[in-house]
Amino acid sequence: MNCPPSGAATPAPVTLVGCGPGAADLLTLRALRAIEAADALVYDNLIGDDVLHFARADAERIYVGKRASRHTLPQEEINALLVRLAREGKRTARLKGGDPFIFGRGGEEMDALRAAGIAVDIIPGVTAAAACAAAAGIPLTHRDEARSLVLTTGHGKPGAQEPDWAALARPGQTIAFYMGVANAGEIARELLAHGMAGSMPVAIIERGATPAQRIHAATLATLTARIAERAIKAPALLLVGEVAARAADTGASDTATSPAA
């Protein structure tokens, strides 16, 4: 058992908090309590002021957001920051959009903290696939159309293994592509090349389950054109599958406001 040096303060625990898709009223009670109790909050791009509003006035706020190849801090430095705050005795809430363990790098941060001898608590959050689909009225599974659900990323780590496109193109499932807008062209080409029909419905959901939500209906064949004509920006989720035909297109509305890139 590793013990801190004599005279050293015991590190405070770090809580990895899933904050859901961005709307404050989709926070869990556990997430709310962790935010209220934190001495320091380390938060991502998807955490808005309505969530940060619940923090104490004297709590330290540190932004470490990531947007398509633009990172405030590299992941290794975020890990080191969390370790430092814990060793300073600060109860730290690491706020993440969605769920910490679904494309949130929560596993990497947990590993780094545990390796440093720091206790970690995990608070699950409503992940984007569930939140965006529900807000858009799209069932991710359906007995007649989708017997399985695949969560995958449209933006892999440099040098990572290619997705199993043949498996993704199988019928009878729904595919949720996180961070897929930038690589939508490749996603469409590969699925078409592996046998998926160009008429397969696709729903593109920007800022899902928030007041800024826009829903765009497309097909695999029209996906890239729709993204271009609507100037669709991240954060957005791509849902591919027969269930996506239920998407009610709201993106062309004159009152819709495109979120900032």
For the chain, report the end-to-end CA distance as a whole number of angstroms: 47
Pick from 94, 154, 156, 89: which is nearest to 125 by CA? 94
Nearest-angstrom CA–CA distance, 228 and 240: 18
> Could you count the other beta carbons within 10 Å of the beta carbon of residue 86?
24
Pick from 108, 90, 176: which is nearest to 139 by CA? 176
Do residues 44 and 66 lie in contact, with contact meaning Cβ atoms separated by under 8 Å?
A: yes
List 25, 39, 50, 66, catalytic entry: 66
User: Pairing mode, if any, of strands 60-63 and 14-18?
Assistant: unpaired
Structure tokens at 38: 């934190």
Nearest-angstrom CA–CA distance, 195 and 197: 6
Torsion of CA 95, 98, 104, 106, to 10 degrees: 60
List 44, 90, 99, 233, catalytic entry: 44
Is 44 a residue of the active site?
Answer: yes
Known catalytic residues? Answer: 44, 66
